[in-house]
Structure 1
Protein backbone atom coordinates (compact mmCIF):
# COMPACT_ATOMS: atom_id res chain seq x y z
CA UNK A 1 0.00 0.00 0.00
CA UNK A 2 1.19 3.49 -0.77
CA UNK A 3 2.57 5.36 2.22
CA UNK A 4 0.21 7.96 3.62
CA UNK A 5 1.20 11.60 3.57
CA UNK A 6 2.95 12.75 6.76
CA UNK A 7 0.73 15.56 7.96
CA UNK A 8 0.91 17.78 11.02
CA UNK A 9 -2.19 18.75 12.98
CA UNK A 10 -3.55 20.76 15.89
CA UNK A 11 -6.77 20.22 17.83
CA UNK A 12 -8.81 23.30 18.79
CA UNK A 13 -11.57 23.57 21.38
CA UNK A 14 -12.79 21.32 24.14
CA UNK A 15 -16.32 19.93 23.69
CA UNK A 16 -16.94 21.35 20.20
CA UNK A 17 -13.63 20.49 18.59
CA UNK A 18 -12.14 20.91 15.16
CA UNK A 19 -8.81 19.68 13.80
CA UNK A 20 -6.49 21.93 11.81
CA UNK A 21 -4.26 19.99 9.40
CA UNK A 22 -1.04 21.47 8.05
CA UNK A 23 -0.14 20.45 4.50
CA UNK A 24 3.22 20.89 2.80
CA UNK A 25 3.16 21.63 -0.96
CA UNK A 26 1.75 18.57 -2.73
CA UNK A 27 0.42 16.94 0.42
CA UNK A 28 -3.24 15.93 0.69
CA UNK A 29 -5.90 15.00 3.22
CA UNK A 30 -9.17 13.16 2.60
CA UNK A 31 -12.50 13.67 4.33
CA UNK A 32 -16.17 12.80 4.18
CA UNK A 33 -18.25 15.28 2.21
CA UNK A 34 -19.42 18.14 4.41
CA UNK A 35 -16.70 17.81 7.05
CA UNK A 36 -14.58 20.79 5.98
CA UNK A 37 -14.79 23.87 8.18
CA UNK A 38 -12.30 26.26 6.55
CA UNK A 39 -9.20 26.27 4.37
CA UNK A 40 -6.54 28.70 3.29
CA UNK A 41 -6.03 30.01 -0.21
CA UNK A 42 -3.94 27.66 -2.30
CA UNK A 43 -5.67 24.45 -1.26
CA UNK A 44 -7.52 22.66 -4.06
CA UNK A 45 -10.54 20.38 -3.67
CA UNK A 46 -11.33 17.31 -5.74
CA UNK A 47 -14.24 14.87 -5.43
CA UNK A 48 -13.23 11.23 -5.94
CA UNK A 49 -14.68 7.73 -5.84
CA UNK A 50 -13.89 5.95 -2.58
CA UNK A 51 -10.79 7.03 -0.68
CA UNK A 52 -8.42 7.50 -3.61
CA UNK A 53 -5.83 4.97 -2.46
CA UNK A 54 -6.16 2.78 -5.56
CA UNK A 55 -4.55 5.24 -7.97
CA UNK A 56 -4.32 4.46 -11.64
CA UNK A 57 -3.42 0.80 -11.04
CA UNK A 58 -6.81 0.02 -9.54
CA UNK A 59 -8.79 1.01 -12.62
CA UNK A 60 -12.30 2.37 -12.87
CA UNK A 61 -13.98 -0.94 -11.90
CA UNK A 62 -11.83 -1.28 -8.79
CA UNK A 63 -12.58 2.26 -7.76
CA UNK A 64 -16.30 1.70 -8.34
CA UNK A 65 -16.30 -1.44 -6.22
CA UNK A 66 -14.43 0.35 -3.43
CA UNK A 67 -16.84 3.27 -3.51
CA UNK A 68 -19.82 0.92 -3.62
CA UNK A 69 -18.67 -0.79 -0.42
CA UNK A 70 -18.90 2.58 1.31
CA UNK A 71 -22.59 2.79 0.42
CA UNK A 72 -23.20 -0.37 2.45
CA UNK A 73 -22.01 1.48 5.55
CA UNK A 74 -24.39 4.35 4.84
CA UNK A 75 -21.66 6.67 3.59
CA UNK A 76 -21.47 8.58 0.32
CA UNK A 77 -20.01 7.15 -2.87
CA UNK A 78 -17.62 10.07 -2.90
CA UNK A 79 -14.93 11.56 -0.72
CA UNK A 80 -13.14 14.90 -0.99
CA UNK A 81 -9.38 15.34 -1.35
CA UNK A 82 -7.79 18.58 -0.15
CA UNK A 83 -4.36 19.23 -1.69
CA UNK A 84 -1.87 22.01 -1.07
CA UNK A 85 -1.37 23.37 -4.58
CA UNK A 86 0.40 26.54 -3.49
CA UNK A 87 3.76 27.55 -2.09
CA UNK A 88 4.62 27.03 1.55
CA UNK A 89 2.55 25.39 4.25
CA UNK A 90 -1.25 25.63 4.06
CA UNK A 91 -3.97 24.72 6.54
CA UNK A 92 -7.37 23.08 6.24
CA UNK A 93 -9.72 22.44 9.16
CA UNK A 94 -12.39 19.81 9.74
CA UNK A 95 -15.12 20.03 12.39
CA UNK A 96 -16.99 17.29 14.23
CA UNK A 97 -20.72 17.21 13.40
CA UNK A 98 -21.91 17.11 17.04
CA UNK A 99 -20.51 17.82 20.54
CA UNK A 100 -17.74 15.49 21.57
CA UNK A 101 -14.08 14.81 20.97
CA UNK A 102 -11.81 14.21 18.00
CA UNK A 103 -9.50 11.21 18.36
CA UNK A 104 -6.20 11.21 16.44
CA UNK A 105 -5.04 7.66 15.63
CA UNK A 106 -1.62 6.92 14.18
CA UNK A 107 -2.09 3.70 12.25
CA UNK A 108 1.65 3.07 12.12
CA UNK A 109 1.60 2.68 15.92
CA UNK A 110 -1.53 0.51 15.99
CA UNK A 111 -0.61 -2.36 13.71
CA UNK A 112 -1.75 -0.64 10.54
CA UNK A 113 -5.48 -1.13 11.12
CA UNK A 114 -8.28 0.27 13.29
CA UNK A 115 -11.93 -0.83 13.23
CA UNK A 116 -14.49 1.85 14.05
CA UNK A 117 -18.18 2.66 14.04
CA UNK A 118 -19.33 3.48 10.52
CA UNK A 119 -20.12 7.15 11.26
CA UNK A 120 -17.06 8.02 13.36
CA UNK A 121 -14.51 8.72 10.59
CA UNK A 122 -13.81 12.44 10.10
CA UNK A 123 -10.65 12.81 7.97
CA UNK A 124 -7.22 11.30 7.34
CA UNK A 125 -3.95 11.72 5.52
CA UNK A 126 -4.24 10.72 1.87
CA UNK A 127 -3.04 7.14 1.51
CA UNK A 128 -5.13 5.82 4.41
CA UNK A 129 -7.62 3.26 3.14
CA UNK A 130 -11.22 3.53 4.36
CA UNK A 131 -13.17 0.31 3.85
CA UNK A 132 -15.70 -1.95 5.51
CA UNK A 133 -15.14 -4.66 8.09
CA UNK A 134 -17.71 -7.47 8.31
CA UNK A 135 -18.28 -9.06 11.68
CA UNK A 136 -18.39 -12.84 11.34
CA UNK A 137 -20.93 -13.62 14.05
CA UNK A 138 -24.60 -13.43 13.06
CA UNK A 139 -25.55 -12.34 16.56
CA UNK A 140 -23.59 -9.18 16.04
CA UNK A 141 -25.41 -8.46 12.81
CA UNK A 142 -28.95 -8.97 14.00
CA UNK A 143 -28.76 -7.84 17.60
CA UNK A 144 -25.86 -5.42 17.88
CA UNK A 145 -27.99 -2.32 17.63
CA UNK A 146 -25.28 -0.45 15.71
CA UNK A 147 -25.10 -3.01 12.90
CA UNK A 148 -22.55 -5.72 12.12
CA UNK A 149 -20.83 -3.73 9.36
CA UNK A 150 -18.12 -1.43 10.69
CA UNK A 151 -15.49 0.69 8.99
CA UNK A 152 -11.82 -0.20 8.85
CA UNK A 153 -8.97 2.26 8.47
CA UNK A 154 -5.76 0.78 7.10
CA UNK A 155 -2.35 2.20 6.33
CA UNK A 156 0.54 3.90 8.08
CA UNK A 157 -0.73 7.46 8.43
CA UNK A 158 -2.84 9.64 10.68
CA UNK A 159 -6.62 9.38 10.81
CA UNK A 160 -9.13 11.30 12.90
CA UNK A 161 -12.29 9.91 14.46
CA UNK A 162 -15.03 11.82 16.26
CA UNK A 163 -17.32 10.63 19.03
CA UNK A 164 -19.78 12.06 21.53
CA UNK A 165 -19.25 13.18 25.10
CA UNK A 166 -16.06 12.14 26.87
CA UNK A 167 -13.74 9.65 25.16
CA UNK A 168 -12.07 6.93 27.21
CA UNK A 169 -9.16 4.89 25.86
CA UNK A 170 -8.84 1.46 27.44
CA UNK A 171 -5.82 -0.77 26.88
CA UNK A 172 -6.88 -4.38 27.42
CA UNK A 173 -4.50 -7.06 28.65
CA UNK A 174 -4.56 -10.53 27.04
CA UNK A 175 -7.82 -12.21 28.01
CA UNK A 176 -9.21 -9.10 29.72
CA UNK A 177 -12.91 -8.68 28.92
CA UNK A 178 -15.08 -5.58 28.93
CA UNK A 179 -18.82 -5.22 28.30
CA UNK A 180 -19.86 -1.99 26.56
CA UNK A 181 -23.16 -0.54 25.41
CA UNK A 182 -23.23 -1.18 21.67
CA UNK A 183 -23.51 2.53 20.86
CA UNK A 184 -20.64 3.51 23.15
CA UNK A 185 -17.97 1.46 21.39
CA UNK A 186 -16.19 3.87 19.03
CA UNK A 187 -13.15 1.97 17.78
CA UNK A 188 -10.75 -0.87 18.48
CA UNK A 189 -7.45 -2.20 17.24
CA UNK A 190 -7.40 -5.22 14.94
CA UNK A 191 -6.40 -7.77 17.61
CA UNK A 192 -9.41 -7.13 19.85
CA UNK A 193 -11.99 -9.93 19.81
CA UNK A 194 -15.49 -8.45 19.40
CA UNK A 195 -18.82 -10.15 20.05
CA UNK A 196 -22.37 -9.51 21.30
CA UNK A 197 -23.55 -10.80 24.67
CA UNK A 198 -27.14 -11.15 25.87
CA UNK A 199 -27.87 -9.27 29.09
CA UNK A 200 -29.26 -12.46 30.62
CA UNK A 201 -31.91 -11.36 33.04
CA UNK A 202 -35.28 -10.78 31.39
CA UNK A 203 -36.28 -8.13 33.91
CA UNK A 204 -33.04 -6.23 33.34
CA UNK A 205 -33.36 -6.59 29.59
CA UNK A 206 -36.89 -5.26 29.33
CA UNK A 207 -36.98 -2.74 32.17
CA UNK A 208 -33.36 -1.74 32.71
CA UNK A 209 -33.35 0.76 29.90
CA UNK A 210 -30.01 -0.41 28.53
CA UNK A 211 -31.29 -2.73 25.80
CA UNK A 212 -31.00 -6.47 25.34
CA UNK A 213 -27.36 -6.80 24.33
CA UNK A 214 -23.88 -5.60 25.18
CA UNK A 215 -20.81 -5.43 22.97
CA UNK A 216 -18.10 -7.55 24.55
CA UNK A 217 -14.45 -6.94 23.76
CA UNK A 218 -11.55 -9.13 24.80
CA UNK A 219 -7.89 -8.20 24.81
CA UNK A 220 -5.15 -7.84 23.95
CA UNK A 221 -5.68 -4.51 22.24
CA UNK A 222 -7.04 -1.01 22.64
CA UNK A 223 -10.64 0.20 22.58
CA UNK A 224 -12.05 3.73 22.51
CA UNK A 225 -15.38 4.33 24.28
CA UNK A 226 -17.70 7.34 24.08
CA UNK A 227 -19.88 8.46 26.98
CA UNK A 228 -22.63 9.98 24.82
CA UNK A 229 -23.47 8.25 21.51
CA UNK A 230 -25.27 10.56 19.10
CA UNK A 231 -28.16 8.08 18.86
CA UNK A 232 -28.72 8.35 22.62
CA UNK A 233 -28.60 12.16 22.47
CA UNK A 234 -31.03 12.19 19.54
CA UNK A 235 -33.46 9.90 21.41
CA UNK A 236 -33.49 12.23 24.42
CA UNK A 237 -34.05 15.30 22.25
CA UNK A 238 -36.89 13.58 20.40
CA UNK A 239 -38.48 12.43 23.67
CA UNK A 240 -38.34 15.97 25.09
CA UNK A 241 -39.71 17.68 21.99
CA UNK A 242 -43.43 18.57 21.77
CA UNK A 243 -45.09 15.59 20.10
CA UNK A 244 -48.14 17.44 18.77
CA UNK A 245 -46.42 20.49 17.32
CA UNK A 246 -47.79 22.72 20.08
CA UNK A 247 -45.96 25.41 21.99
CA UNK A 248 -43.49 24.34 24.63
CA UNK A 249 -43.75 25.49 28.25
CA UNK A 250 -40.04 25.97 28.67
CA UNK A 251 -37.18 23.61 29.34
CA UNK A 252 -37.43 21.91 32.70
CA UNK A 253 -40.92 23.25 33.41
CA UNK A 254 -42.78 21.42 36.16
CA UNK A 255 -46.11 22.15 34.47
CA UNK A 256 -45.61 19.60 31.70
CA UNK A 257 -48.89 18.66 30.06
CA UNK A 258 -50.86 20.94 32.39
CA UNK A 259 -48.94 23.90 31.01
CA UNK A 260 -49.97 22.94 27.51
CA UNK A 261 -53.62 22.92 28.55
CA UNK A 262 -53.27 26.34 30.16
CA UNK A 263 -51.64 27.59 26.97
CA UNK A 264 -54.65 26.43 25.01
CA UNK A 265 -53.03 23.39 23.36
CA UNK A 266 -55.53 20.55 23.45
Structure 2
Protein backbone atom coordinates (compact mmCIF):
# COMPACT_ATOMS: atom_id res chain seq x y z
CA UNK A 1 0.00 0.00 0.00
CA UNK A 2 1.18 3.49 -0.84
CA UNK A 3 -0.31 6.83 0.20
CA UNK A 4 0.46 10.06 -1.63
CA UNK A 5 -0.67 13.56 -0.69
CA UNK A 6 -1.04 15.22 -4.07
CA UNK A 7 -1.12 18.97 -4.66
CA UNK A 8 -4.00 20.39 -6.71
CA UNK A 9 -4.79 23.88 -7.98
CA UNK A 10 -6.57 24.91 -4.77
CA UNK A 11 -5.42 22.42 -2.16
CA UNK A 12 -4.47 18.77 -1.77
CA UNK A 13 -6.00 15.32 -2.24
CA UNK A 14 -4.97 11.96 -0.81
CA UNK A 15 -4.30 9.08 -3.20
CA UNK A 16 -4.06 5.47 -1.98
CA UNK A 17 -2.51 2.83 -4.25
CA UNK A 18 -3.86 -0.48 -2.96
CA UNK A 19 -2.87 -4.04 -3.72
CA UNK A 20 -5.58 -6.69 -3.96
CA UNK A 21 -7.00 -7.39 -0.48
CA UNK A 22 -5.68 -4.22 1.18
CA UNK A 23 -8.10 -1.93 3.03
CA UNK A 24 -8.34 1.68 4.18
CA UNK A 25 -10.84 3.42 6.47
CA UNK A 26 -12.36 6.64 5.18
CA UNK A 27 -14.71 9.38 6.35
CA UNK A 28 -18.07 8.97 4.50
CA UNK A 29 -18.35 11.25 1.47
CA UNK A 30 -14.58 11.70 1.16
CA UNK A 31 -14.02 9.33 -1.79
CA UNK A 32 -13.55 11.27 -5.03
CA UNK A 33 -12.85 8.39 -7.40
CA UNK A 34 -11.44 4.87 -7.68
CA UNK A 35 -9.62 3.16 -10.52
CA UNK A 36 -9.95 -0.61 -10.22
CA UNK A 37 -12.57 -2.78 -8.54
CA UNK A 38 -13.24 -1.97 -4.87
CA UNK A 39 -15.73 -2.88 -2.15
CA UNK A 40 -17.09 -0.30 0.29
CA UNK A 41 -18.62 -1.31 3.61
CA UNK A 42 -19.98 1.06 6.26
CA UNK A 43 -19.38 0.35 9.93
CA UNK A 44 -19.31 2.07 13.30
CA UNK A 45 -15.83 2.49 14.79
CA UNK A 46 -15.89 1.37 18.42
CA UNK A 47 -19.54 0.24 18.37
CA UNK A 48 -22.91 2.00 18.31
CA UNK A 49 -22.47 3.92 21.58
CA UNK A 50 -19.10 5.29 20.55
CA UNK A 51 -20.40 6.10 17.08
CA UNK A 52 -23.32 8.10 18.48
CA UNK A 53 -20.98 10.06 20.76
CA UNK A 54 -18.71 10.77 17.80
CA UNK A 55 -21.61 11.96 15.66
CA UNK A 56 -23.38 14.05 18.31
CA UNK A 57 -20.41 15.39 20.25
CA UNK A 58 -17.49 15.26 17.87
CA UNK A 59 -19.09 16.62 14.72
CA UNK A 60 -18.23 13.52 12.68
CA UNK A 61 -20.31 10.94 10.84
CA UNK A 62 -21.77 8.04 12.81
CA UNK A 63 -20.19 5.66 10.27
CA UNK A 64 -16.74 5.05 8.83
CA UNK A 65 -16.35 3.43 5.42
CA UNK A 66 -13.92 0.57 4.90
CA UNK A 67 -12.64 0.40 1.32
CA UNK A 68 -11.14 -2.94 0.21
CA UNK A 69 -9.38 -3.46 -3.11
CA UNK A 70 -10.76 -6.47 -5.00
CA UNK A 71 -7.88 -5.96 -7.41
CA UNK A 72 -5.03 -3.45 -7.59
CA UNK A 73 -6.72 -0.05 -7.28
CA UNK A 74 -6.09 3.66 -6.82
CA UNK A 75 -8.49 5.57 -4.56
CA UNK A 76 -8.63 9.38 -4.41
CA UNK A 77 -9.77 11.01 -1.16
CA UNK A 78 -10.74 14.67 -0.78
CA UNK A 79 -11.91 17.14 1.84
CA UNK A 80 -15.02 19.35 1.84
CA UNK A 81 -13.07 22.57 1.19
CA UNK A 82 -9.60 23.45 -0.15
CA UNK A 83 -7.23 21.95 2.39
CA UNK A 84 -3.75 20.93 3.38
CA UNK A 85 -3.46 17.30 4.48
CA UNK A 86 -1.02 15.42 6.69
CA UNK A 87 -0.04 11.84 7.49
CA UNK A 88 0.59 11.11 11.16
CA UNK A 89 2.31 8.00 12.51
CA UNK A 90 0.01 7.35 15.45
CA UNK A 91 1.08 5.22 18.40
CA UNK A 92 -1.14 6.29 21.27
CA UNK A 93 -3.86 8.93 21.21
CA UNK A 94 -4.50 12.28 19.57
CA UNK A 95 -7.30 14.79 20.17
CA UNK A 96 -8.92 15.94 16.93
CA UNK A 97 -10.98 18.98 16.00
CA UNK A 98 -14.38 18.88 14.28
CA UNK A 99 -14.27 17.71 10.68
CA UNK A 100 -10.50 17.13 10.43
CA UNK A 101 -10.54 13.32 10.34
CA UNK A 102 -10.06 12.04 6.80
CA UNK A 103 -8.85 8.42 6.83
CA UNK A 104 -6.75 5.86 8.67
CA UNK A 105 -4.89 2.61 8.13
CA UNK A 106 -4.13 0.14 10.90
CA UNK A 107 -5.52 -0.53 14.36
CA UNK A 108 -7.02 2.89 15.10
CA UNK A 109 -10.38 3.73 16.67
CA UNK A 110 -12.12 7.09 16.33
CA UNK A 111 -13.97 7.85 19.57
CA UNK A 112 -15.38 10.78 21.59
CA UNK A 113 -14.97 11.77 25.21
CA UNK A 114 -16.53 14.42 27.42
CA UNK A 115 -14.57 17.65 27.27
CA UNK A 116 -14.94 18.60 30.93
CA UNK A 117 -16.53 21.50 32.81
CA UNK A 118 -14.56 24.15 30.93
CA UNK A 119 -16.10 22.81 27.74
CA UNK A 120 -19.58 22.77 29.28
CA UNK A 121 -19.21 26.37 30.48
CA UNK A 122 -18.35 27.49 26.97
CA UNK A 123 -21.60 26.03 25.69
CA UNK A 124 -20.03 24.62 22.53
CA UNK A 125 -18.41 21.33 21.63
CA UNK A 126 -19.09 19.29 24.77
CA UNK A 127 -17.06 16.39 23.38
CA UNK A 128 -13.54 15.98 22.07
CA UNK A 129 -12.81 13.57 19.24
CA UNK A 130 -9.98 11.09 19.81
CA UNK A 131 -7.94 8.92 17.45
CA UNK A 132 -6.51 6.03 19.47
CA UNK A 133 -4.29 3.10 18.51
CA UNK A 134 -1.40 2.39 16.18
CA UNK A 135 -1.26 3.08 12.46
CA UNK A 136 -1.36 5.86 9.89
CA UNK A 137 -3.80 8.71 10.53
CA UNK A 138 -4.71 11.21 7.81
CA UNK A 139 -6.10 14.61 8.72
CA UNK A 140 -7.17 17.68 6.79
CA UNK A 141 -6.91 21.38 7.63
CA UNK A 142 -8.84 24.19 5.97
CA UNK A 143 -6.51 26.28 3.77
CA UNK A 144 -3.19 25.47 5.52
CA UNK A 145 -1.94 23.34 8.41
CA UNK A 146 0.35 24.65 11.15
CA UNK A 147 2.12 23.01 14.09
CA UNK A 148 2.97 24.69 17.40
CA UNK A 149 5.34 23.19 19.97
CA UNK A 150 4.75 24.50 23.48
CA UNK A 151 7.34 24.37 26.24
CA UNK A 152 6.38 23.57 29.83
CA UNK A 153 4.19 26.37 31.18
CA UNK A 154 3.92 28.16 27.83
CA UNK A 155 0.42 29.42 26.94
CA UNK A 156 -1.22 29.36 23.50
CA UNK A 157 -4.69 30.65 22.60
CA UNK A 158 -6.61 29.44 19.55
CA UNK A 159 -10.04 29.97 18.01
CA UNK A 160 -12.04 26.79 18.62
CA UNK A 161 -12.96 26.39 14.94
CA UNK A 162 -9.27 26.57 13.92
CA UNK A 163 -8.29 23.63 16.13
CA UNK A 164 -7.06 20.54 14.25
CA UNK A 165 -5.38 18.36 16.86
CA UNK A 166 -3.18 17.99 19.94
CA UNK A 167 -1.50 15.28 21.99
CA UNK A 168 -4.08 13.51 24.15
CA UNK A 169 -2.50 14.55 27.46
CA UNK A 170 -2.37 18.24 26.55
CA UNK A 171 -3.91 20.64 29.06
CA UNK A 172 -6.79 22.34 27.24
CA UNK A 173 -9.32 24.83 28.58
CA UNK A 174 -12.31 25.98 26.55
CA UNK A 175 -13.95 29.33 27.29
CA UNK A 176 -15.97 32.18 25.81
CA UNK A 177 -13.81 35.06 24.58
CA UNK A 178 -14.65 38.36 26.26
CA UNK A 179 -16.97 39.02 29.16
CA UNK A 180 -20.67 39.31 28.57
CA UNK A 181 -22.86 39.17 25.49
CA UNK A 182 -21.90 42.67 24.26
CA UNK A 183 -18.21 41.77 24.19
CA UNK A 184 -18.96 38.63 22.22
CA UNK A 185 -21.10 40.48 19.66
CA UNK A 186 -18.84 43.53 19.26
CA UNK A 187 -15.57 41.65 19.49
CA UNK A 188 -16.65 39.03 16.99
CA UNK A 189 -15.02 36.20 18.93
CA UNK A 190 -16.72 33.08 20.25
CA UNK A 191 -15.28 29.96 21.86
CA UNK A 192 -11.52 29.97 22.44
CA UNK A 193 -9.09 27.24 23.47
CA UNK A 194 -6.24 27.80 25.91
CA UNK A 195 -3.33 25.35 25.80
CA UNK A 196 -0.69 25.08 28.50
CA UNK A 197 2.56 23.36 27.57
CA UNK A 198 4.14 20.99 27.18
CA UNK A 199 1.98 20.27 24.15
CA UNK A 200 1.98 19.82 20.40
CA UNK A 201 -0.88 21.70 18.75
CA UNK A 202 -2.04 21.49 15.13
CA UNK A 203 -4.26 24.24 13.75
CA UNK A 204 -5.70 25.53 10.48
CA UNK A 205 -5.45 29.04 9.07
CA UNK A 206 -9.08 29.14 7.93
CA UNK A 207 -12.10 28.93 10.22
CA UNK A 208 -14.81 26.89 8.45
CA UNK A 209 -17.41 28.25 10.87
CA UNK A 210 -16.46 31.87 10.19
CA UNK A 211 -16.46 31.24 6.45
CA UNK A 212 -19.93 29.68 6.66
CA UNK A 213 -21.24 32.66 8.64
CA UNK A 214 -19.74 35.07 6.13
CA UNK A 215 -21.36 33.30 3.16
CA UNK A 216 -24.69 32.93 4.97
CA UNK A 217 -25.23 36.69 5.10
CA UNK A 218 -25.26 36.82 1.29
CA UNK A 219 -27.41 33.71 0.88
CA UNK A 220 -30.02 35.05 3.32
CA UNK A 221 -30.46 38.22 1.25
CA UNK A 222 -31.82 36.31 -1.74
Identify the TM-score tier after normalising by the shorter chain: 0.7 to 0.9
Equivalent position SS for 2:98? coil
Q: How far, CA to CA, are the matches of 1:157 and 1:91 in structure 2?
A: 20
State how 1:117-266 maps to structure 2 within 5 Å.
117-136=97-116, 138-143=117-122, 145=124, 147-200=125-178, 205-211=184-190, 213-241=191-219, 243=221, 245=222
Preserved contact between residue 115 and residue 150 of structure 1 (Cα < 8 Å): yes
Instruction: Output the CA distance in 2 between the equivalents of 1:97 and 1:129.
Output: 22
Residue 39 (structure 1) shift: 1.3
Q: Could you tell me which residue of structure 1 aligns to residue 78 of structure 2?
A: 95
The count of residues paired between Structure 1 and Structure 2 equals: 219
Asked whether the equivalents of residues 166 and 200 of structure 2 are also in contact (C-alpha less than 8 Å), the reply is yes
Find the aligned partners of 2:220 and 2:61 in 1 and give their Cα distance. Answer: 32
Deviation at residue 43 of structure 1 after TM alignment? 2.2
Deviation at 1:172, TM superposition (A): 1.2
Name the CA shift for 1:45/1:206 in 2 (closer, same or farther; >3 Å): closer
Gaps of 5+ in 1: 1-6, 55-62, 246-266
Structure 2 alignment gaps of length 5 or more: none
Once the two structures are overlaid, the 10-residue window that deviates more, 91-100 or 198-207, is: 198-207
Q: Distance in 2 between matches of 1:36 and 1:220?
A: 36
Determine whether 1:9 maps to 2:17.
no
Tell me, what secondary structure is at the counterpart of 1:183? helix
Give 1:200 shift: 4.9
- Normalized per residue, the structure richer in strand is 2
Shift of 1:201: 5.7
**In the alignment, which of 54, 69, 79 is matched to residue 84 of structure 1?**
69
Decide which of 13, 20, 43 is 2:15's aligned counterpart: 20
Question: Offset at 1:153?
Answer: 0.5
Kindly tell me: are residues 206 and 80 of structure 1, through their superposed partners in 2, closer, same or farther at Cα, counting changes over 3 Å?
closer
- Over the aligned positions, Cα root-mean-square deviation in angstroms equals 2.2
Q: Which residue of 1 aligns with 2:48?
A: 64
